[in-house]
């Protein structure tokens, strides 16, 4: 599977990158970055830092530094000021590629017609790609994204961060007719890192000690902000779906995004009971087999040992 991972590292984005690079089933063509958990300069630096950690030969392309229309929001309360607080990681050495993320997507989608886009941050880059290169949209095999919520949000009562950070972009993507698989908070909160997973990570060896430190920080901010004792591993759910879709229960629903609501701005409106009469446009992940998830997660990450 050829993928482009479009992300805003971000602790969980970092583990989505690692899971993708550790999986032989996946050809990671490149990592593109977007403003989200932190400013573009930070998310781009963090992506490079993570790839440098295991010396992965994957190029990094910077994308949009602000949302299409709304003002920038970042998440220092969750990911720290740098966007990847909590571990003494060696500083990024690899360069930022010259091409803009959107132009890299266009180059790859001109060359290949089976690419899966895996966005794990706000959808600004993907939406801008669709606006700038409409003739290439049909070359996208599918989009497997982390974002949205059916029953709840995490930035407002109804809006999840990736969507709320650029609702207009999310609306463009969800109405693009590209096959979409969506991992909302309802499923990512079933895949929770606790002390058990953190100590298992530590036991994998030195570099994994640093990764365990990242998880410990991420878990601490979720305790502080949401008062929950485990941290959902949101973004890796996308890559895990590519590797083992059977780990997830999915249903097809029509999903759209509210861009004008006072209380509901950024909400993913999921038509569970088909009251809208609109044809489903997304496969929505509803359930995850958490035990199987972490079995595969650690099996894959341990492939990085000795790298």
Q: Known catalytic residues?
A: 234
DSSP string, 167-195: HHHHHHHHTS-S-EEEE-HHHHTTSEE-H
Contact pick of 186, 235, 256, 258 for ligand RIB (by CB under 6 A): 235
Among 43, 142, 162, 281, binds ligand RIB (CB under 6 A): 162
Q: Do residues 121 and 10 make contact, with C-beta atoms less than 8 angstroms apart? A: yes
Structural contact between residues 193 and 86, judged by C-beta atoms closer than 8 angstroms: no
Residue ranges in 51-70 that form contacts with Ca ion under rule CB under 5 A: none
Q: Is residue 10 part of the contact set for Ca ion (CB under 5 A)?
A: yes
Q: What are phi and psi of 180, to 5 degrees?
A: -120, 140
Using a 10 angstrom Cβ sphere, with 0-12 exposed, 13-18 middle and 19 or more buried, the burial of residue 245 is: middle
Q: Which does 281 bind (CB under 5 to 8 A by kind): Ca ion, ligand RIB, none?
A: none
Question: Do residues 261 and 283 lie in contact, with contact meaning Cβ atoms separated by under 8 Å?
Answer: no
Q: Which of 13, 166, 197, 258 binds ligand RIB (CB under 6 A)?
A: 13
Of the ranges 43-51, 118-126, 186-194, 293-301, which one interacts with Ca ion (CB under 5 A)?
A: 118-126
Q: How far apart are CA 74 and CA 43, in angstroms?
A: 11
Q: Which stretch binds ligand RIB (CB under 6 A): 156-164, 196-204, 264-272, 278-286?
A: 156-164
Distance in Å, CB of 120 to ligand RIB, minimum: 5
Closer CB to ligand RIB, 160 or 197, in the complex? 160
Distance in Å, CB of 276 to Ca ion, minimum:
28
What is the C-alpha separation between 297 and 240, in angstroms, rounded? 8
Number of amino acids touching ligand RIB (CB under 6 A): 15
For the bound state, the minimum distance from the C-beta of residue 37 to ligand RIB, rounded and expressed in Å, comes to 5
What does 83 interact with, of Ca ion, ligand RIB, none (CB < 5 to 8 A by kind)?
Answer: none
Residue 301 touches ligand RIB, criterion: CB under 6 A = no
188 and 153 in contact (C-beta within 8 Å)? no
166 binds Ca ion (CB under 5 A): no
Out of 161, 218, 241, 248, which residue is the one contacting ligand RIB (CB under 6 A)?
161
Residue 147 CB burial class (10 angstroms; 0-12, 13-18, ≥19): buried
Per CB under 6 A, which region of 83-91, 158-166, 257-265, 283-291 contacts ligand RIB?
158-166
Q: Which of 24, 25, 46 is nearest to 35 (CA)?
A: 46
List C-alpha distances in Å: 168 to 38, 71, 138, 183, 258: 19, 12, 20, 19, 9
- Compare residues 10 and 63 and give the one whose CB is closer to Ca ion: 10
In contact, 68 and 166? CB cutoff 8 Å: yes
Spatial contact of 95 and 61, defined as CB atoms under 8 Å apart = no
Interface with Ca ion by CB under 5 A: which residues? 8, 10, 13, 120-121, 235
Interface with ligand RIB by CB under 6 A: which residues? 8, 10, 12-13, 36-37, 120-121, 146, 154, 160-162, 234-235
């Amino acid at each position: 599977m050829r993928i482009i991972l479009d992300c805003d590292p971000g602790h969980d984005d970092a583990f989505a990158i690692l899971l993708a690079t550790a999986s032989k089933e996946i050809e990671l063509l490149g990592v593109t970055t977007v403003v989200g958990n932190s400013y573009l300069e930070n998310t781009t630096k963090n992506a490079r830092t993570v790839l440098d950690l295991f010396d992965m030969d994957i190029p990094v392309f910077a994308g949009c530094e602000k949302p299409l229309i709304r003002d920038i929001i970042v998440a220092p309360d969750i990911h720290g000021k740098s966007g990847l607080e909590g571990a003494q990681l060696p500083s990024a050495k690899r360069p930022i590629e010259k091409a803009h993320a959107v132009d890299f997507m266009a180059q790859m989608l001109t060359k290949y017609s089976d690419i899966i886009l895996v966005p794990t941050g706000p959808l600004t880059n993907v939406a801008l790609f669709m606006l700038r290169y409409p003739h290439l949209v049909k070359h996208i095999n599918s989009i497997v994204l982390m974002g949205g919520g059916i029953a709840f949000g995490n930035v407002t009562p109804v809006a999840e961060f990736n969507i709320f950070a650029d609702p207009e972009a999310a609306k463009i993507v969800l109405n693009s007719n590209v096959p979409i698989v969506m991992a909302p908070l309802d499923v990512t909160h079933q895949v929770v890192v606790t002390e058990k997973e953190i100590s298992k990570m530590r036991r994998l060896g030195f570099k994994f000690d640093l990764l365990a430190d990242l998880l410990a920080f991420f878990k601490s901010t979720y305790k502080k902000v949401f008062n929950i004792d485990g941290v959902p591993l949101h973004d890796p759910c996308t890559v895990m779906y590519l590797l083992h879709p059977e780990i997830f229960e999915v249903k097809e629903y029509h999903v759209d995004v509210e861009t004008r609501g006072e209380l509901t701005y950024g909400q993913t409106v999921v038509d569970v009971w088909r009251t809208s009469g609109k044809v489903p446009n997304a496969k929505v992940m509803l359930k995850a087999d958490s035990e199987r998830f972490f079995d595969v997660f650690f099996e894959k990450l341990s492939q990085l040992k000795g790298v």
